[in-house]
Copies of this chain bind each other. A is one copy, B any other.
Amino acid sequence: MGSQSPRRRELMAGLELPFTAISIDADESYPAALKEGDIPYFISRSKAEAYAPKLTENQLLITADTIVWLEGKMLGKPHDEAEAIEMLKALRNKTHQVFTAVTFAESGKPLETVVDKTDVTFGNLSDEEILHYVHQYRPMDKAGAYGVQEWIGYVACTAMQGSYFNVMGFPVHLVYAELKKRNIIETQI
């Protein structure tokens, strides 16, 4: 699994299959014309392509990328506290979309990518609550500047449509289905 995200590693571990987490140094830029799910689609494939030549037979590489999409704009990882605060102010009292793309790579086979989308509704957040979260949790490693499984998710997230795990950054049900399709999960007993 090519991911440095502890959340993704934890979710992958929940599927009860042995795996190794590696870190991939890939270019995460993308064509400016891309929108919504096409952005993480492109980036997760860039990550997979960066590592694919090193894959040996019988190895499966899984990469992922997550973005937040708010009213026509992409929110990635904030660069600093000020940008994190700005993102959270933009998200409050609105519904945004979370897109995660997961790419599967095997030696000698074409890449396969699945994309999941979840609508997330945030209720009101005071400036004090946003400051508290950003100072205490430092969400600079998270797209849209929040972790739904953290305090902010508890107090701000009033509704969701789609998969919660996708919002955490890894749509495990899609990963599981793809692994099953590839006969990697033969039986669960």
Complex contact B158–A173 (CB within 8 A): yes
Complex contact B157–A173 (CB within 8 A): yes
Total copies of the chain: 2
Nearest CB of B to A147, in Å: 11
Give bound CA distance, A177 to B133, whole Å.
17
In the complex, chain B residues whose CB is within 8 Å of the CB of A132: 188-189
In the complex, chain B residues whose CB is within 8 Å of the CB of A161: 159-161
Q: Does A165 contact B (CB under 8 A)?
A: yes
Question: Which A153-189 residues have C-beta < 8 A from chain B?
Answer: 154-165, 172-173, 176-177, 187-189
B155, B173, B187: the one contacting A128 at CB < 8 Å is B187
Instruction: Report the stretch among A9-17, A34-42, A98-106 that lies at the interface.
Output: A9-17
B123, B154, B187: the one contacting A14 at CB < 8 Å is B154
Give bound CA distance, A184 to B132, whole Å.
17
Residues of A within 8 A of B (CB): 11, 14-16, 123, 128-129, 131-133, 135, 148, 150-151, 154-165, 172-173, 176-177, 187-189
Sample of 7 A–B contacts (CB below 8 Å): A14-B154, A16-B151, A128-B188, A155-B173, A157-B164, A159-B161, A160-B163
Closest 9 CB pairs of A and B: A132-B188, A164-B164, A154-B172, A155-B176, A161-B161, A14-B154, A132-B189, A129-B188, A158-B173
